[in-house]
Amino acid sequence: MPAGRWKGAGGGGASWWCGGPPSTNALILAFVLPLSLFVETLVTASRVADDLDERFLREMEVNRAIMEEDEEDDDREVDEGEEAEEDEEQAPVEGKEPVVIGAAVAATPTRTRNRPRRQILFIYLLHVAADKQRSEMARQQGVASMLALALVLGTFAAIPTGVQSIGVCYGVNGDNLPPANEVVQLYQSNGINLMRIYFADTNALKALSGSNIGLIMDVPNDQLGSIASDPNNAANWVRDNIQAFPGVSFRYIAVGNEVSGGDTNNILPAMQNINNALSNAGLGSIKVSTAVQSGVTQGFPPSQGSFSQGYMGPIAQFLQSTGAPLLANIYPYFAYTGNEQQINLNYALFTAPGTVVQDGNNAYQNLFDALVDTMYSALENAGAGNVNIVVSESGWPSAGGDAASTGNAQTYNQNLINHVGQGTPKRPGAIETYIFAMFNEDQKQGLETERHFGLFNPDKSAAYPINFN
């Protein structure tokens, strides 16, 4: 973040992040495996239900056979009884009085058939069996459904939800900063899994090897001319600073940071040469971009944003062709201090109680979103609406200038961390964001505020309480 930062109403440079995309292995573990278990559970539940249905039907057949056998027995008993009655009428049995038709009392009453009683008993038992089978099926299917639901919930719980960590910019313009290996440990102990460095710092690259910390690495502004003029210089830079560190998780190469003046003519050709060198080295997954400040845009409200600098249109088109994001330094602090008469401090600190700017259907409650969406509108107006924005810097100083205090710095950065997963009114969804900066750097040039953006002191103690989770 250079000293000569633009301070117009649009703001200065900044950045905010929500976590890098999950790896292929993470996606397999988080989604494919639980989904396969979910499908297998459904199949198992269906098989259980089919088995129970089959068992139920078999029992019904057995009960039906028993009923038919009982009916045959009843019929035989009835036939035998009728024959016996006929014999009695024709030849009275010795020792018994003959049955008198129509008498109130008969010596040998006729036996009534028990088939209706057995049918009622069978139907009752059938209902009992059916209820039992249905209860068992419901229990089995209920267990299966609960397991399936648990697996589904587990699947969605395992998928990253946007904000997994916050990136932090690691500058080294201080005479008392800890060594790089301790810095990497400090990132890891605080759950920070993204870093930006401003040159190919060999010590930092060695310390990052094997750490799985995603990295933005800059090509310094003073090297753009050399790399833009000769593809061999770009190839050598890639060989010495990227291929030489295979254990580092490079994400983006920032070809220049807030470049100004005549050097802006070197940005695009340098980006093209670095991009070709990476592709030739088999490293095309590392995206090439450049970091810009809000001063390259103009227009209000955010939907009216456009690029104020002619060189940005071709850069935006190049980014769209390669699928790389635009790196944007978004600083509500500088926008506020550059126009305190019109911008409320709460709007800059994410603490406004309600909508401050209504832009069509989009309501803006904080300045950060307005600055990011102005940049998105500029990309759309340049014919590069598919380009995403990575906020490569954003922060608030704790001393050295107007509204620069520990309280405001803590409020802004904590609210930024809490906000990044939501996206903006124009582009909902997580935005990859890097807070500036890891340390207070006492040797930084420029305004006094430049030396007070650190989240940590050189002794690795927190400059103020902050929660990265």
* Active site residues per annotation: 258, 393
Say which DSSP state 439 is in.
B
Counting other chains too, the contacts that 345-354 makes at CB distance below 8 Å and 24 or more residues apart are 345/403, 345/408, 348/403, 348/412, 349/396, 349/408, 349/411, 349/412, 349/415, 350/411, 350/412, 350/415, 350/416, 350/419, 351/411, 351/415
Q: Which residues of 444-464 are buried (b: 16+ CB within 10 A; e: fewer)?
A: beebebbbbbbbbeeeeeebb
The whole-angstrom separation of Cα 447 and Cα 397 is 11
| Sign for the pseudo-dihedral over CA of 3, 6, 8, 12 | negative
Helix axes 312-322, 267-280, angle to 10 degrees: 20
CA 201, 204, 207, 211 dihedral sign is negative
The encoded tokens of residue 24 equal 């292929």
H or E element at residue 249: strand 249-257
The tokens for 399 are: 């001393």
Whole-number Cα distances in Å, 54 to 18, 59, 126: 53, 9, 15
d(CA 364, CA 356): 6
Backbone φ/ψ region at 86: left (φ over 0), alpha (ψ -120 to 50), beta: alpha
Terminal CA-to-CA distance of the chain, rounded, Å?
Answer: 26
Nearest to 384 by CA among 328, 333, 467, 313: 313
Look-up of token digits 């995603």: 214
CA separation for the pair 75, 98 (Å, rounded):
26
